[in-house]
Amino acid sequence: MTRVFSGVKPTGHLTLGNYLGAMRQWAEVDQHRSDAVFCVVDLHGMTVDHDPARLRRLTRQTATLLLAAGLDPRLCTVFVQSHVDEHARLSYVLECVATDGEMRRMIQYKEKAARERERGGSVRLSLLTYPVLMAADILAYGAGEVPVGDDQAQHVELARDLAVRFNQRYGHTFVVPRATLPTVAARVMNLQEPASKMGKSDDSGPGIVYLLDEPDAVRKKVMRAVTDSAGEVVYDRAGRPGVTNLLEILAACTGADPERLSADYSSYGALKKDTADAVVDVLRPLQERHRALCADPAYVDGVLREGAARARGMARPTVDAAYRAIGLLPAV
Ligand code: TYM
């Protein structure tokens, strides 16, 4: 069975973008058809200025939301990255295979480093090496498929390159992974700035639908989404990003085709209303499960404890093999 691996960073409250671009696919498809492993990647949450107490809180909240979104520990493995040492162990080995030029070319590094410098801060070294740790996450589990949103495709490509390079130099050790993107909503845009991704670490609240937003807040945000003055509902990502984003969200929530949907609407108001209703409907069961899970913290602890134990068992043989292949003397 194909091994699937994916992760989510606990750096903010999860958004509709995280759900439609990744988590929904994990819950509805991946866990049923593959040996799937999902990780709250807390080590990745320390690559920019962070508050320790907030990181800890968000790690738990993110894990709870993964379960609320429908991940079922009887079908898949759910755990926290820092609970499994293999990620950090393998990351260092892969740093000895990657180059600094490769790291500096990563779009997310360039954007985030520029933002840190604009704020007058310094750039943590871990921001530069972030994609190597991400490659370690994927390669440690022998994952063939990595279901992600569009913004992570370049990082998965790097994981591929590192796997191929390691295998060529030191002998076949890693499965070569590939990214699998959803056909609709692979890049959900900010409702207020439809040229930018809807990101959980951003500050612009009114443009971001959070998974735990109340129905009224969701409706307000969607009804106030920025569109354009053309007045005609047309699917055109480059020319009409605001309207196209709404069509993508509505299509993803209802299982329709976004281009075909555009023919059903003659006004932005009707499109926004249906989109708001569809988002509220999609979030309702998730929010109900979230409430129930918050009332049972011992259950979430148990899932994470068992998930980490299972994950260690999967990752250790591959990471040990990589240590041997690259020339490290096994401990006796
Ligand atoms: P993260 O935490 O930013 O996002 C988690 C998942 O949600 C997707 N996503 C989106 N999809 C569509 N539209 C959006 N606006 C949107 N925003 C986020 C992301 O593409 C991602 O699939 N580096 C990763 C975490 C990671 C990881 C891994 C992923 C660490 N190690 C190994 C896969 C495999 C990240 O920051 O995702």
Place of tokens 């909503």: 185
199 is in an annotated binding site: yes
Q: Do 147 and 183 meet the contact criterion of CB atoms below 8 Å apart?
A: no
Q: Which atom in ligand 1 lies closest to the alpha carbon of residue 41?
A: 30
Other C-beta atoms closer than 10 Å to the C-beta of 323 total 17
Q: What residue owns the CA closest to ligand 1's atom 24?
A: 8
How much distance in Å is there from the Cα of 163 to the middle of ligand 1? 20
CATH number at residue 31: 3.40.50.620
Pocket of ligand 1 (CB under 6 A): 5-9, 17-18, 21-22, 41, 44, 134, 137-138, 146, 148-149, 151-152, 155, 186-188, 197-199
For residues 145 and 26, state if they share a domain.
yes
Question: Is residue 200 in a domain?
Answer: no
For residues 168 and 211, state if they share a domain.
no
Query: What sign does the dihedral 175-178-182-187 (CA atoms) show?
Result: positive
Q: Which atom in ligand 1 lies closest to the alpha carbon of residue 190?
A: 15
User: How confident is the model at residue 204, as a pLDDT?
Assistant: 65
How much distance in Å is there from the Cα of 55 to the middle of ligand 1? 17
Q: What residue owns the CA closest to ligand 1's atom 36?
A: 9
Q: Which residues of the chain are under the pLDDT cut of 50?
A: none
Among 3, 4, 5, 8, name the best residue to mutate to test ligand 1's pocket (greatest count of ligand atoms within 8 A of Cβ): 8
10 is in an annotated binding site: yes
Instruction: Please count the structural domains in the chain.
Output: 2
Q: What residue owns the CA closest to ligand 1's atom 27?
A: 7
CATH number at residue 261: 1.10.240.10
Question: Is residue 188 in a domain?
Answer: no
How much distance in Å is there from the Cα of 106 to the middle of ligand 1? 15
DSSP state of 71: -
So which residues are the catalytic ones?
Answer: 112, 197, 200
151 is in an annotated binding site: yes
Q: Any residues with CB less than 8 A from the CB of 38 and at least 6 apart, and which?
A: 5, 6, 7, 8, 26, 66, 71, 76, 77, 78, 79
Indicate if ipTM > 0.95. Answer: yes
User: How confident is the model at residue 1, as a pLDDT?
Assistant: 86
Q: What is the dihedral of CA 43, 210, 256, 275, to 10 degrees?
A: -160
User: How confident is the model at residue 274, as a pLDDT?
Assistant: 98
For residues 171 and 82, state if they share a domain.
yes
Whole-number Å distance between alpha carbons of 101 and 226: 38
Parent domain of 7 = 3-181+297-326
Whole-number Å distance between alpha carbons of 217 and 205: 11
For residues 302 and 287, state if they share a domain.
no
DSSP state of 93: H
Question: Is residue 192 in a domain?
Answer: no
Q: Which atom in ligand 1 lies closest to the alpha carbon of residue 152?
A: 20
User: How confident is the model at residue 138, as a pLDDT?
Assistant: 98
% of the chain with per-residue pLDDT over 90? 96
11 is in an annotated binding site: yes
**Token pair belonging to 281:** 């409907």
Helix (H, G, I), strand (E, B) or coil at 80: strand
Question: The pTM is what?
Answer: 0.97
- SS3 track for 114-168: HHHHHCCCCCCHHHHHHHHHHHHHHHHCCCCEEECCHHHHHHHHHHHHHHHHHHH
274 is in an annotated binding site: no
Among 148, 192, 248, name the best residue to mutate to test ligand 1's pocket (greatest count of ligand atoms within 8 A of Cβ): 148
User: How confident is the model at residue 203, as a pLDDT?
Assistant: 65
